[in-house]
Structure 1
Amino acid sequence: MRLMDFTLVLALQNQNKNNMKLNFTKGAAVVLMSLLFGTSATQAQDMTEATAFLKAGSEDAGVYMGKYLNPMVKGLGYGVAGGWYNTAKTHKPLGFDITVTLNASRAPEDDFFFDIIETDYQNIQLKDPNQPSTSTLFGDETTTGITAEYYDETYDRTIVSEFETAPGLALDDSYNGYVPMPMVQAGIGLIKNTDLKVRWMPTQRFNDDYDNESSVGMFGLGLMHDFKQWIPAIKHIPIDMAVLVGYNRIYAKSGLNSNGEVIDGENQQGEVGINSWTYQLLVSKKLSVLTLYGGVGYNNTTTNLKVLGTYVIEDDNTGATVTLTDPIDEDYLSSGMRGTLGMRLKLAIITIHADYTFQEYNTITAGIGFSVR
């Protein structure tokens, strides 16, 4: 698995200039697909399509983008919430561990498609009202035709265009619907049976065929505390119990310039920030070299998506244009309960663990590392 070739949220693809058939981007998760599945930058760029849903206006593009990228946002949010622990027992002061972990969250089938509901938008209509279904980023090649009439008050003109919604990556066929998230994590014991945890994914950078620079990185902090020590009634029960609070941030950005081949403009750039919190109650029991552990908790994820720069939108029929500036700045929220069961094998200082988390996007976690004190 290669940590390389990371494309960002809204990579661009050449379009047919004769009919100006413009489709919306598939890119936000191609970033992750490229990073985690070893897809080359060129392949990722070929898979993605343009920011052209902006022809329906920035508000409609933001609504569509949220629905289209929904499984990626959830998959990442649920994925980074896992792998924080493989025992509820905290370190002694200055004890430490370093672990390489892979979380893989599976999107439910309902999130591979969604219906275009005209009342959710201001400026679009379905070409065929009997075919409202279209793929999300994780879906297959299913698309539907859109007619857009976008009125711009600044220019006092209406832009008319027709296009297809974007197809998906067929993730269910290629990767059985899983969104993997690798990371490195270190923990150190502080005072009063408290561990500080730090996790990260090295920042990846690359340039595409348009010389757009893309980058992505991840960082997280967590605290785990043995609360059992403060409750006399359970203090001497021969199991370990703790509470955990963890925070993760994934940040990605990329230039969206296409040298005028898709949408003309200047300083075109996409940015994505994913902020995820998890709150968990943990319990574990050590049996010789084997530790059984589990936890229940709650995840909360906020994703901010920005499309920055200027975008010159042209009418397919008249050639009239309007210019959109910094057209998209949207927040998308997801949250839910979680429950985890797992086991860890410790041989001397070497640890190997695996667990399964029951949540909206069920998640498999596996890791290897070492732990001292």
Structure 2
Amino acid sequence: MKHFFLLLVLISGLSVTAQADINNLFAAGVDDAERFTNDYMAPLSEGMIYSISNGWYNSGETKPLGGFEISIIGNMASFKNKENKKSFDLNTAEYENIQFVDGSISKAVSSGLGDLEGIRVFVEGEVAPGVSSREEFELPTGLSSENINFVPSAFLQVSVGLIKGIELKARFLPKIDTDEVAVGFYGVGLQHELTSLLPAEKIWPVAVSGVIGYTHLNGTYDFTDTEIIAGENQKIDAKINSWNFQAIVSTKLPIINFYGGLGYITGNSKTDVLGTYIVKSGPFQQTIEDPFTLTKKVSGATANIGTKLKLGFFRLHADYTIAQFNSLSVGINFGFR
């Protein structure tokens, strides 16, 4: 069986086998499936937004006119110590049909980032006068059960110096398109060095600038042929957008430099569960078309600190960001000027 949200793992460059069966969720009815899936999915979407939002800069100093830098950047948004992101409280009073097998009314269950296993629920209902049907199944666990404690992203980024302390940035992930998965990733940003406008900018050993960056990710995962559930054209279509606003200060030294920033990230995700689903077991057997859409909005302050090593046209950088999901960003850079 594959993870219900395998798409977000695949677009992160991972292949994970998990324990969730979509058929089990729909056996509880569309409303219960949507409620559970929304709570289960939310932390994973949030982690992905923070992961793709970082890595926009490695210095407060912008490049001069014609200067450029090509970077390969990897981000890891960690949730290792985020216990509140790994689980959520499932209160059966808020559900129409799901009940815990052990008789509990409310308990913590795994989110898409968690590792709680062996939690069994059931749905029960009358299928004919005097005849009832009961279906038991285990709730899905999450990425921590596979010893994965971060949400990764990786991409190429190009920076080009323009006039008056302005630097244009663009990032992208080459499109991946297979029989099951299609992924597109791009972003654009601007950095403006404020110290370049001051008369003493060549004397001061620091650079101060501001950055605005927009990132968009679009991915689909077609699982019609995986035999998870009967039906056709079954796929998940996920769209993620994020904005990053940062104020940066850095040193201006020939070889090793240090930089830091304060800022704000805001983003949203929209995940459409599409296709025809035929529930063949339990008391709520039915055919469902394009069941639901899940949305998540995220915003929060960030702070980071990093260092950059420059050896001619070859550069390395690494920084750590403190936010709702703390992130590590590393990059290999090739540049001129």
Q: Which runs of 5+ in 2 are unaligned?
A: 127-131
- Name 1:241's counterpart in structure 2: 208
- Name 1:4's counterpart in structure 2: none
CA-CA distance at 1:123 after TM superposition: 3.7
Q: Which moved further from structure 2: 339-348 or 322-331?
A: 322-331
- Name 1:210's counterpart in structure 2: none
TM-score normalised by length of structure 1: 0.79
* Greater strand share, structure number: 2
Change (3 A) 1:150 1:204: farther
Please state if 1:174 is matched with 2:154: no
Change (3 A) 1:51 1:200: farther
Please state if 1:327 is matched with 2:299: no
Q: Distance in 1 between matches of 2:244 and 2:317?
A: 20
- Name 2:189's counterpart in structure 1: 222
Classify the secondary structure of the residue corresponding to 1:133. Answer: strand
| Structural mapping, 1:191-202, within 5 Å | 191-202=163-174
Given the alignment, which residue of 136, 142, 158 partners 1:186?
A: 158
| Structural mapping, 1:1-373, within 5 Å | 25-32=4-11, 35-36=13-14, 39=15, 44=16, 49-107=21-79, 108-127=82-101, 128-129=103-104, 132-148=107-123, 161-170=135-144, 174-175=147-148, 177-207=149-179, 213-229=180-196, 237-258=204-225, 261-316=227-282, 321-373=285-337
Q: Please give the root-mean-square deviation of Cα atoms over the aligned residues, in Å.
A: 2.9
Classify the secondary structure of the residue corresponding to 2:56. Answer: coil
Q: Is the 8 A contact 1:26 1:49 kept in 2?
A: no
Q: Is the 8 A contact 2:27 2:282 kept in 1?
A: no
Q: Is the 8 A contact 2:189 2:214 kept in 1?
A: yes
- Name 1:19's counterpart in structure 2: none
CA-CA distance at 1:51 after TM superposition: 4.8
Change (3 A) 1:222 1:71: same
> Could you report, residue by residue, the CA deviation over 1:107-131 in whole angstroms, capped at 9, with x for unpaired residues?
1232222221234434433333166
Classify the secondary structure of the residue corresponding to 2:259. Answer: strand
Classify the secondary structure of the residue corresponding to 1:70. Answer: helix
Paired positions, count: 329
Q: Distance in 2 between matches of 1:350 and 1:311?
A: 52
Q: Distance in 1 between matches of 2:133 and 2:9?
A: 30
Q: Distance in 2 between matches of 1:71 and 1:312?
A: 28
CA-CA distance at 1:101 after TM superposition: 1.1
% identical aligned pairs: 31
Classify the secondary structure of the residue corresponding to 1:59. Answer: helix
Change (3 A) 1:321 1:198: same
Change (3 A) 1:192 1:121: farther
Q: Distance in 1 between matches of 2:173 and 2:202?
A: 37
Classify the secondary structure of the residue corresponding to 2:232. Answer: coil
Change (3 A) 1:109 1:303: same
Q: Which moved further from structure 2: 77-86 or 55-64?
A: 55-64
Change (3 A) 1:348 1:232: closer
Change (3 A) 1:130 1:101: same
CA-CA distance at 1:30 after TM superposition: 3.4
Q: Distance in 1 between matches of 2:303 and 2:186?
A: 23
CA-CA distance at 1:106 after TM superposition: 0.6
Q: Distance in 2 between matches of 1:159 and 1:235?
A: 78
Change (3 A) 1:82 1:30: closer
Q: Distance in 1 between matches of 2:7 and 2:30?
A: 17
